Amino acid sequence: MRNGGEPVFRSVVIARRAAALAALAVLVLTGHGERHDASGPAAPPPVTAIR
């Protein structure tokens, strides 16, 4: 029974991690996209400071 249960448990853990990563990726990309528009003018100064 252990051999049959371990793969199922691992697949469940992997599925949960994949779902969590996908949700975080969507939130980060969506939030970053909205913030990027607002912070667009603020982005150039750090670039010139690096130069």
What is the tens place of the pLDDT at every residue in 15-29? 999 999 999 988 888
Instruction: Show Cβ contacts of residue 36 under 8 Å, excluding neighbours closer than 6 positions.
Output: 43
What's the token pair of residue 17?
A: 């991690």
Judged against a pLDDT cut of 80, whether residue 6 lies above it is answered with no
Question: What was the pLDDT predicted at 44?
Answer: 52
Question: What was the pLDDT predicted at 4?
Answer: 57
3-7, 23-27, 43-47: lowest mean pLDDT where? Answer: 43-47
Spell out the domain ranges in the chain.
Answer: 2-50
